[in-house]
């Protein structure tokens, strides 16, 4: 895929946005104490007709660079909230998480826009959590006003990939986050690597000290899951729990996972 020239990919992406070639998948996050589904994170997918699947880490930055992040975000949020609305009508009682590009946050109107979409699609704002990644050039602290507006509306804010950005501790203290997502980088060598253990424990304690939910990303093994539980990490997400799911696979996963949980945590 990386051989694909940017110009061709960009033209194709513009078409994809218009023609409905994109779709969303949803990755479950579960409570570490009970194994219950607590959140679904929406992740965008693009199957390019000629090149095959293109990774979001490739086309999201492309959209950012060429002024297409607005339409992408608008489409993604509407799709996600419509899907979530269907699930809640069927009795699902969780939060829904949506990834936001730092570029969208530069607009002070953005929180109003998100609230309007929630209202239109009949999803209470306090069910929505926005996940933000700290960009290399744009410290989140500059976005304080926008972030505060979200919180006033009841929308949750998660700092994504925590530990990989810079001056992260300062941002955690000053910005109105509700959740910290510990980057996969720190989770992947648990529990064997002493340094990862120390860092992850410190982030969880810090999150709790500040009243935030601690979520571990990229949990792939039962050993990682059990270790994170022993540290009182609140929420787990990763392939051991579930891969990102097509919407119609969620029901079957909920049943399957409930049966698998006791064994996973070593209490079968």
Stretch that binds Mg ion, among 76-84, 106-114, 216-224, 229-237 (CB under 5 A): 216-224
**Least distance in angstroms from the C-beta of 201 to ligand C2E:** 20
- Collapse the DSSP code of 168 into the 3-class scheme (helix H, G, I; strand E, B; otherwise coil) and give the result: helix
**Least distance in angstroms from the C-beta of 218 to Mg ion:** 7
234-261 in b/e burial notation, b at 16+ Cβ within 10 A? bbbbbebbbebbebeebeebeeebeeeb
Q: Binding-site residue total for Mg ion (CB under 5 A)? A: 5
Q: How many residues does the chain have?
A: 268
Q: Which is nearer to Mg ion, 12 or 133 (CB)?
A: 133
- Is 264 within 8 Å of 240 (Cβ atoms)? yes
Q: Which is nearer to Mg ion, 134 or 161 (CB)?
A: 161
Q: Which of the listed partners (ligand C2E, Mg ion, none) does 238 bind, with a CB threshold of 5 to 8 Å by partner kind?
A: ligand C2E
**Residue 200: closest CA among 178, 232, 222:** 232
Task: Give yes or no for residue 161 binding Mg ion (CB under 5 A).
Answer: yes
Report H helices in the chain: 6-19, 56-65, 69-89, 110-120, 144-152, 168-174, 184-187, 194-209, 222-230, 250-264
Q: What does the binding site for ligand C2E look like in residue numbers (CB under 6 A)?
A: 27, 43-44, 55-57, 60, 76, 99-101, 131, 133, 160-161, 184, 218-220, 238-239, 244
* 176-231-169 Cα angle (round to 5): 30
Stretch that binds Mg ion, among 31-39, 53-61, 77-85, 93-101 (CB under 5 A): 93-101
| Residue of closest CB approach to Mg ion | 131
**Least distance in angstroms from the C-beta of 91 to ligand C2E:** 26
């Amino acid at each position: 895929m990386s051989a694909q020239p940017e110009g061709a990919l960009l033209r194709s992406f513009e078409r994809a946005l218009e023609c409905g070639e994109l779709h969303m998948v949803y990755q479950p996050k579960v409570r570490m104490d009970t194994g219950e589904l607590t959140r679904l994170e929406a992740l965008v997918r693009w199957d390019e007709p000629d090149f095959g699947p293109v990774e979001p880490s490739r086309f999201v930055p492309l959209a950012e660079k060429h002024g297409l992040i607005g339409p992408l975000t608008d489409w993604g949020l509407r799709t996600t909230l419509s899907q979530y609305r269907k699930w809640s009508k069927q009795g699902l009682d969780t939060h829904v998480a949506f990834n936001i590009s730092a570029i969208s946050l530069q607009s002070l109107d953005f929180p109003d826009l998100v609230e309007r979409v929630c209202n239109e699609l009949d999803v209470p704002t306090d069910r929505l959590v926005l996940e933000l990644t700290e960009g290399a050039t744009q410290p989140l602290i500059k976005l304080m006003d926008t972030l505060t507006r979200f919180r006033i509306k009841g929308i949750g804010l998660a700092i994504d990939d925590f530990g990989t950005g810079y001056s992260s501790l300062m941002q955690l203290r000053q910005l109105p986050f509700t959740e910290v997502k510990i980057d996969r980088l720190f989770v992947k060598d648990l529990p064997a690597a002493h340094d990862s253990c120390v860092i992850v424990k410190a982030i969880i304690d810090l999150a709790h000290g500040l009243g935030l939910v601690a979520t571990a990303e990229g949990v792939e093994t039962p050993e990682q899951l059990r270790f994170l539980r022993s540290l009182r990490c609140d929420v787990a997400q990763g392939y051991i729990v579930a891969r990102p799911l097509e919407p119609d696979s969620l029901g079957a996963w909920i049943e399957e996972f409930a049966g698998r949980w006791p064994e996973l945590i070593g209490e079968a």
